């Protein structure tokens, strides 16, 4: 789904206001963080306007998701991104959502991005340094690592919020294990047909899963398979 493709969102604030008009951005905190983190800083310079509601290639057979998908995931995770909470961003790509998460949990929280392409890790860190999230990168509350996101980042688990930015054939068990009781994961699941699944770990450790919407993401796979995808 593309809500608009040209002319209606030339600046970051206008993009967020458009998402709000469509009912995708609903909470004040999501609106504020999307206005604070300028999407233009996280899109390669050679791509078309960063504010178009469309996924965009970032190299290495990866993409940055469309703004409406970023807003959807932020809204789904908002209650698990309160100040002081912990979040994991799997397939962190350009670092856009990782930066949003860090702003929401603040300096007392902890956000970890995991991306298996080292060049994208470097790119994302450079992007965050240009944004208002830069002070959090210099502290202990925001870090990005080159690793296989399917294994999560157990060193700083458990997490209140886990976001996965690529489609897994099934929900990886390590990510379920690293989700805190009371925590929530948002993950696209499927191959040809994909659903954005909302995974809640109940306080007794049991898991509840529901489908939010049909989506189309690049696959969550190995580094070698991703680089050789085309």
Catalytic residues: 65
Q: CA-CA distance, 24 to 50, in Å (whole number)?
A: 18
Q: Take residue 219 and report the two structure tokens written for it.
A: 């696959």
Give the torsion sign (CA, 133, 139, 82, 178): positive
Question: Among 83, 147, 140, 85, which Cα is nearest to 113's?
Answer: 147
The answer to whether residues 190 and 169 touch, using CB atoms and an 8 Å cutoff, is: yes
* Dihedral (Cα; 201, 202, 206, 211), 10-degree rounding: -50
């Amino acid at each position: 789904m593309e809500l608009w493709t040209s002319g209606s969102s030339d600046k970051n604030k206008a993009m967020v206001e458009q998402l709000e008009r469509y009912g995708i951005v609903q909470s004040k905190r999501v609106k504020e963080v999307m206005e604070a983190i300028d999407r233009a800083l996280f899109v390669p310079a050679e791509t078309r306007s960063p504010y178009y509601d469309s996924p965009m290639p970032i190299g290495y057979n990866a993409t940055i998701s469309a703004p409406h998908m970023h807003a959807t995931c932020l809204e789904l995770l908002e209650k698990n991104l309160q100040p002081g909470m912990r979040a994991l961003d799997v397939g962190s790509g350009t670092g856009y959502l990782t930066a949003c998460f860090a702003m929401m949990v603040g300096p007392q929280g902890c956000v970890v991005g995991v991306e298996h392409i080292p060049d994208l890790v470097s790119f994302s860190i450079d992007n965050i340094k240009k944004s208002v999230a830069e002070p959090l990168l210099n502290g202990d509350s925001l870090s990005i690592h080159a690793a296989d996101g399917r294994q999560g980042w157990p060193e700083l688990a458990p997490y209140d919020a886990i976001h996965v930015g690529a489609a897994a054939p099934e929900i990886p068990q390590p990510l379920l294990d690293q989700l805190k009781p009371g925590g929530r994961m948002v993950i696209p699941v499927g191959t040809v047909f994909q659903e954005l699944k909302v995974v809640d770990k109940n306080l007794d450790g049991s898991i509840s899963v529901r489908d939010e919407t049909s989506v189309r993401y690049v696959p969550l796979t190995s580094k070698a398979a991703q680089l050789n995808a085309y």
